[in-house]
Structure 1
Amino acid sequence: MPNFKKYDYSQSAMVVIDFEEQLQPGTFEFTLHRLIDDHIDLSAFHEKYKNDAGGRSAYDPAILLKIILYAYAKGITSSREIQWQCEHNIIFKALSCDSVPHFTSIASFVSSYPDAIESVFEQVLLV
């Protein structure tokens, strides 16, 4: 009888992950990450935030844009599914720096900033 190594899918593992190493050069997610961090002006998103004097910290628009645009590129449009991907998918974890925005935060961001999101695409055309 063959002797195979034992395995157990129900086991847990603690793994140290460098998120930037998960974004391999030449991939769409790497390009999206670098484009948003280095070339896109996100000031249009900052106007509605009024929490500098107090209140809860908000998710950085760069993080939300990365996960939303990556999800849409993959055909994922449900904010609940995007939240789930941020919890379980290593590329989403890398793009979000392991943050998991609640699906209502994701949906609110998309519906609150249609003009600012459109400006991102206009900026991409100029890069």
Structure 2
Amino acid sequence: MAKLHYRSYNPNQIILFPQRIDEDIAGNDPVRIISAIIDQLDLSKFHKLYHGIGRCAYHPRMMLKVIVYAYMNNIYSCRKIEKLLHRDIHFIWLSGCEKPDFITINRFRNRVKEEISDIFTQIVLLLSAKGFVSLDVEYVDGTKIESKAT
């Protein structure tokens, strides 16, 4: 019988992730597309929402990337987003290893309510310019379902 050999296993190692997390994220992954698109947005309206006093705030571009990517994946709970910022490699990469808590995420979301519609408009226009979506076609669902009323 052959002697068994296993790869070394040490869950207490100092580095659990590679030095560069982005090496494990595919070049065409949607998280990269979201990051690149938000990097091109004009966030000048966000600056008026911050004051120069107190503790340094998380960068609004990072917070926006995290929230848009979460929404894209049907995740709306601030607590779930916070958990993903600790566990999911895509969220870790997108946030630059920052870990805002659920209260901070919720406060940011509430703070940018008025500006967010402008952001989504910018995103749609950028996606259209890059050919990901078309603004020429509208779809209307004309499904008719009969009901039986008694």
TM-score by length of 2: 0.72
Deviation string 1:40-97 (CA, Å, 9 cap, x unpaired) is 001111111012xx32100111110111111111121110111111111111110000
Which piece of structure 1 moves more, 66-75 or 100-109?
66-75
1:33 maps to which residue?
Answer: 35
Aligned pairs (5 A) from 1:1-127: 3=4, 5=6, 11-13=11-13, 14=15, 15-37=17-39, 39-51=40-52, 54-127=53-126
2:142 maps to which residue?
Answer: none
Tell me how far apart the structure 2 counterparts of residues 44 and 22 of structure 1 sit (CA, whole Å).
Answer: 34
CA RMSD of aligned residues (A): 2.0
Gaps of 5+ in 2: 127-150
Identical amino acids, percent of aligned pairs? 30
Contact 1:40–1:124 under 8 Å retained in 2: yes
Determine which structure has more spread, i.e. the larger CA radius of gyration: 2
Runs of 4+ with >2 A deviation: 1-4, 19-25
Contact 1:87–1:93 under 8 Å retained in 2: yes
Structure with greater contact order relative to length (CA < 8 Å, sep ≥ 6): 1
Tell me how far apart the structure 2 counterparts of residues 22 and 120 of structure 1 sit (CA, whole Å).
Answer: 29
Tell me how far apart the structure 1 counterparts of residues 101 and 49 of structure 2 sit (CA, whole Å).
Answer: 19
Shift of 1:19: 3.8
Count residues with an aligned counterpart: 123
Deviation string 1:85-122 (CA, Å, 9 cap, x unpaired) is 11111111100000000110100111121121111110
Contact 2:86–2:92 under 8 Å retained in 1: yes
Give the partner amino acid of 1:27. D
Identify, as 1 or 2, the structure richer in helix: 1
Tell me how far apart the structure 1 counterparts of residues 21 and 91 of structure 2 sit (CA, whole Å).
Answer: 10
TM-score by length of 1: 0.84
Deviation string 1:20-51 (CA, Å, 9 cap, x unpaired) is 434432221001111111x1001111111012
